[in-house]
Amino acid sequence: MTNDQGTIQQRLQAVRILSGALIGGLVIFAVVAVVALGTGEYPSPVEAAALFGINVLAFVVAEVVGYRTEAVRPDADPESALTTGLEALQQTTILRFAITEAPAILALVWAFSTGSAWPYLIGAFWSLLCMAWHVWPSRRVATRLERSLDREGGRSGLVAALSGSTGPSTPGYQQF
């Protein structure tokens, strides 16, 4: 498979659509929770702190585990290195989504057990922020993946390919 710029942008667009759909699911669940359960009593500060803590834990796990990839070999040709990078972007996006969505699912269960949508609204809010940081395919995410891919001397060229440039990339400069 050839990695021309059109194909790369199509793959990036597919990841964007998937990420948007997954992140948007939290908002849809919020509407369903409010309609089905109502907004009864607000949870205690301890419960709200527990929901926040669960999300912090998920954020840390996503930071530690969510960007691990197989390294690109130093002798890999640029096309196969870029293919490895694009596949890593797709695969780790799903992994980071699963990790950062887990607190929202727990909060939804918590909401149904208490009969109020508030636990879900609190947990999903923090989960949404985690997803925006870890799941949406931004330059920051691609740069983290590229560091993991290139750690043994190979060059994936992931950031340059996704941004459409052929020169060196500047981390944190621009979103895709």
* pLDDT for position 165: 56
pTM of the predicted structure, to 2 decimals? 0.82
* pLDDT for position 164: 67
* pLDDT for position 174: 46
Strands in 29-176 per DSSP E: none
Name the residue among 30, 8, 2 with its Cα closest to residue 164: 8
Token pair belonging to 27:
């908002």
Mean pLDDT by 10 residues, the chain (176 residues): 72 88 93 93 93 97 93 86 88 94 96 94 95 90 90 85 60 48
* pLDDT for position 57: 97
* pLDDT for position 52: 96
| Burial label, 41 (beta-carbon count in 10 A; 0-12, 13-18, 19+) | exposed
